[in-house]
Amino acid sequence: MDNTFIIWIIPWPEILIAFGFCVIGSIISAALPLSKLSRISVVENISNIEF
């Protein structure tokens, strides 16, 4: 009989690094459009829409 065991090791540092990159990427991708949106007048742009 062959007693072979598989040991599962969860790579916590790599998971946390990947999570950090995802959070930073999300913040950056949301901050760029928000900075553009803060510079325009929403009311004027809505009134310029033609139906």
Tell me what percent of the residues of the chain surpass a pLDDT of 70. 92
**Tokens of residue 21, six digits:** 């990159």
Distance CA 21, CA 18 (A): 5
Which range has the worst mean pLDDT, 3-7, 17-21, 44-48? 44-48
Distance CA 51, CA 17 (A): 48
pTM surpassing 0.85? no
Across the range 19-47, mean pLDDT stands at 89
Taking the CA atoms of 35, 38, 42 and 48 in sequence, report the sign of the dihedral they define. Answer: negative
The most distant pair of C-alpha atoms in the chain lies apart, rounded to whole Å, by: 79
